[in-house]
Amino acid sequence: LETRVHVLRDGEWVEVGSQDVVLGDLVRVEEQDPLPCDGIVVSGTVIVNESMLTGEPMPIQKFPLEDMRGAAVGQKNRAYAGTICMQSTGSFDGKAVMLCTAVGALTSKGQLVRMVLFPQSVRFKYNDQLPIIYTIMFCYAMLITVLYATLTDLGSWIVTVLQILNTIAQSMNPMLPVSMVMGQSVASKRLERKEKIACLQPGRIPVAGKISTMVFDKTGTITKDGMDFAAVIP
């Protein structure tokens, strides 16, 4: 969603679209507007709502960088794209000013969206142990095949080969990986149909079924943004 922002160009404040902000621009922070980019506060103070990124409903105050000549930049100096400015005070028309350091997919919001759309592959401990199980099953199949071929009169060599292949297929079913993937896909569709839960990684469903307790560090992560007034206790 594109918004209009004021940036300093050629010594004058000009209004441009948020998509036209580039690295190094000085952006005037307006109240009640989402920040168009990641940046460092260089003048004034800003109070922002970062619940979209962190789930924390408490507003956070950002301070200007104390020394522009190589000073360390901390979280108190950084503001992030997509967060809502609740208050902006400074010397430029009464507003704070921030220096743009990242735009588009390079912002914290862009990285969050990319992580959701393209999650990292999941590796479970039992997946790493599957080669050991396959090796044991293969050795078992070969042992049964040798014993069967030695102790039983199988007739022609064609019958012997067919019996060996049948034994291996019974001990190491080639359709087992396919059935596991299909089972996870069916479980994902069932979750979405019955519980309205969309799963981006069906491979997590078998492990999630074993979870008995889940602990969240922030209630805003699973409830809603913002804070509600409850009461005043004298």
Coil vs helix vs strand at 87: strand
pLDDT at 209 (0 to 100): 79
Indicate the average pLDDT of the chain. 82
Of the residues 10, 153, 217, 228, only one is catalytic, namely 217
Q: Tell me which residue has tokens 């979209």.
A: 52
77 closest CA partner among 106, 43, 54, 49: 43
pLDDT tens, residue by residue, 117-135: 777 776 667 677 778 888 8
Each domain of the chain, given as residue ranges in start order, spans: 4-117, 125-209
Is pLDDT above 90 for 153? Answer: no
More confident: 210 or 127: 210
Choose the CATH number for 4-117 among 2.70.150.10, 3.40.50.80, 3.20.80.10, 1.10.10.10: 2.70.150.10
175 by Cβ neighbours in 10 Å (0-12 / 13-18 / 19+) ranks as exposed
- Integer Cα distance of 71 and 74 in angstroms: 9
Q: Tell me which residue has tokens 């309205």.
A: 196
Question: Does the annotation count 217 as an active-site position?
Answer: yes
pLDDT at 87 (0 to 100): 92
pLDDT at 71 (0 to 100): 60
Q: How confident is the model at residue 55 (pLDDT cuts 50, 70, 90)?
A: confident
More confident: 209 or 219: 209
More confident: 35 or 127: 35
Coil vs helix vs strand at 185: helix
Which stretch, 110-119, 148-157, 219-228, has highest mean pLDDT? 110-119
Is pLDDT above 70 for 95? Answer: yes
Q: If you average pLDDT over residues 39-64, what whole number do you get?
A: 87
% of the chain residues with pLDDT over 70 = 85
Which tokens is 115 given? 């992580």
